[in-house]
Amino acid sequence: MRIFIMTLLLSIYASATVIVLPDNFTADFVQKITNTKKKTIDYSGKVRFSNPSLLKWSYAKPTQKEVCTTREELTVVDHDLEQVSYYRIHKGFNFSKILKKAKLYSKNIYVAKYENKHYTIQVDTKKRLQSIAYYDDLDNKVQIVFKNVKYGKGSLSKKSMHCQVPNNYDEIRG
């Protein structure tokens, strides 16, 4: 569920006017999830964004996973388990609405409340995304920090935005 929310969060905010977002970007990321008992897990990898509907997370540590999304479907490829899961997206939240509600809190921090959830968004001096923090549906604190961000024009190739699924992996449709 955490991956689902995080993916939706980034995949649909391109139309926002507060934070500068290019046609595409690539970045390294570190995602820290802290549960209610203060136990944490750190994920890291690379993220690719291309237009409001295509997003690909390539997790490298602590496990190898790929998470790809369009507005209609979420695909999770777990290389450690050798399985792929497909989910239809019926109801996601609209991050562009979150950003429209975002209010400047300090020089480079924005806060937003949307559907009873609070989001903290940090940007650099050019209003480019640096980090996002929020609480997921399980009350886990989620913080995603972006590094080595490269902004670009035009769309990334569709092939580079799709998860690669080996033929021998088990399939789960949700």
CATH number of the domain enclosing 166: 2.50.20.10
Examine the pLDDT at 11 and tell me if it is beyond 50.
no
Is 21 contained in some domain?
yes
The model carries a pTM of 0.79
Is 56 contained in some domain?
yes
Domain encompassing residue 164: 2-96+139-173
Query: Which residue is it, tokens 């905010």?
Result: 13
Report the C-alpha gap between 9 and 25 in whole angstroms.
15
Output the six-digit token pair for 52.
């409001």
Is 118 contained in some domain?
no
Per-residue pLDDT tens over the stretch 49-100: 887 678 899 999 999 999 998 878 889 999 999 999 998 876 544 455 666 6
